[in-house]
Structure formats: C-alpha cells, structure tokens
C-alpha cells in the first residue's frame, strides 16, 4: 500500500470473465485515467458464447489481449469458471494453479490476485490460493464500506456497478477527508452494460470520480497490497 504515503483515498475496479465488452470498458477507463483488474478464465479462451439479457456475450481470445489490457492487472478467475466448492483437490489445483500458470504465459506477469467465480469459496480454496502466492481474492459480498480489510483472501467489494447505492457511495467517497486510508472498490462484468443498456451509468460514475488530486487510481494489487 505504497499509495498511502501520499493519499488517503483509493479507487479500484474489478471486472470478470474477459469478454468482448471489455474493449469498450478499457477504452472508457483509459480515457478517464482509471485502473482495473481483469479476472480471466484462461481455459475458456474464446470458446464460449452466451446471452445476457438479450445481448451476446463472447469471450475474448486471450492470446491477443496483451495490448488491450496493458496498464491494468490480470488476475485469476479459475481456468474454466468452475464453482470451487464443488471440486476435488486435484480439480481445485487445475482450476487455480492452471489458470495462474496459463495467464503468466499469456501476459508475462505472475497473477497475485483472484476473483471467485460465482462468488463461491471455502477454506480449502483459500488455503490453495495462499499456497500458490495469491495474495488477495474478491468475493461478491458487497459491504458498502471503504474501510481497509484484514482478510484479503476473502475480500469484500464496496459494491457492484448496478448497486442502487452506487452514486450515493461515490458522493460519500468524494466528500470524505479521512484520517485512515479508504478504498472504493467496484466490481462487475462489462457485458452487463450491454445487456442492461446502461453504459451511461459507467460514464456518469467515471465523470464524477476522475481527476481528483486526493484520490489514487490503481489496480486491485496496487491498492490492496
């Protein structure tokens, strides 16, 4: 948490599944000077197509994504997007160690972060992550809080981008003059903006939060570690 030497507030984003809508998300984040962590499933490389509220969702070809994600962080999301709590120890290893290894080959850096597919985890998954050098892992248990957390392998995000409290939380974060470091952590899937037709929601949020001299904009690893 090097940033805390100069800042009391940090903003970070966490987006899952490596799909084509990430192209639009990255271009918006870059335009506003924001940093994000992308949680990717290396074993489902461009093979998956599904629908979300009438919009096609296509996985990106991760062998072609180094330039797209440059400046952001790549993190583990499970090789095949499996629910970790249903796996044998061998399957757990393939899902987590396998994804970490493949993402290292694809992007040239060893992932130190993770997001739980379906938000599913148990102690065995947490222990496995710890053993392979994963230092934080995001759940889907939003807490509407900016406070620092001690259990980073069961990290709770502030909110999802469709949370009804999103803009109230943003106002609150902007107005704060905290004594202790505070983190605003927003998560989601970029295809949700397509399916819900609400990219304007993201633009409004970025517009509100960008370019503030008292906010540090960093990837999950830069902000949490």
Query: Which stretches of the chain bind Zn ion, using CB under 5 A?
Result: 16-17, 117
Please, which residue, 99 or 112, has the CB nearer to Zn ion? 99
CA 36/CA 93 separation, integer angstroms: 26
Please, which residue, 32 or 52, has the CB nearer to Zn ion? 52
Contacts of 148 (CB under 8 A, 6+ apart): 180, 181, 182, 183
Contacts of 127 (CB under 8 A, 6+ apart): none
Please, which residue, 139 or 182, has the CB nearer to Zn ion? 139
> CA of 75: how far to CAs of 23, 39, 111, 129, 168, in Å?
17, 5, 5, 12, 29
Residue 110 beta carbon to Zn ion: minimum distance, rounded to whole angstroms: 21
DSSP state letter for 109: S
Please, which residue, 17 or 194, has the CB nearer to Zn ion? 17
Please, which residue, 117 or 183, has the CB nearer to Zn ion? 117
Residue 52 beta carbon to Zn ion: minimum distance, rounded to whole angstroms: 12
- 19 — phi, psi (to 5°)? -110, 170
Residue 142 beta carbon to Zn ion: minimum distance, rounded to whole angstroms: 16
> CA of 179: how far to CAs of 59, 176, 182, in Å?
42, 9, 9
Task: Please give the distance of CA 22 from its chain centroid, rounded to a whole number.
Answer: 12
Please, which residue, 26 or 117, has the CB nearer to Zn ion? 117
Position closest to Zn ion via CB: 16
Rg (CA), the chain: 17
CA 160/CA 15 separation, integer angstroms: 10
């Amino acid at each position: 948490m090097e940033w805390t030497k100069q800042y009391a507030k940090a903003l970070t984003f966490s987006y899952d599944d490596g799909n084509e809508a990430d192209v639009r998300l990255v271009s918006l984040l870059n335009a506003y000077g924001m940093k994000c962590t992308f949680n990717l499933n290396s074993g489902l490389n461009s093979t998956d197509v599904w629908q979300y509220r009438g919009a096609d969702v296509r996985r990106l070809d991760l062998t072609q994504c180094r330039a797209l994600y440059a400046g952001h962080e790549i993190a583990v999301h499970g090789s095949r997007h499996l629910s970790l709590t249903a796996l044998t120890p061998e399957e757990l290893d393939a899902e987590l160690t396998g994804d970490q290894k493949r993402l290292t080959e694809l992007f040239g850096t060893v992932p130190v972060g993770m997001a739980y597919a379906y938000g599913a985890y148990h102690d065995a998954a947490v222990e496995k992550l710890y053993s392979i050098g994963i230092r934080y892992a995001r759940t889907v248990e939003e807490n509407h809080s900016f406070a620092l957390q001690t259990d980073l392998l069961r990290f709770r995000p502030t909110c999802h981008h469709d949370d009804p409290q999103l803009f109230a939380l943003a106002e609150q974060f902007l107005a704060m003059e905290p004594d202790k470091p505070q983190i605003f952590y927003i998560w989601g899937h970029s295809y949700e903006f397509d399916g819900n037709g609400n990219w304007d929601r993201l633009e409004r949020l970025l517009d509100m939060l960008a370019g503030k001299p008292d906010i540090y904009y960093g990837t999950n690893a830069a902000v949490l570690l």
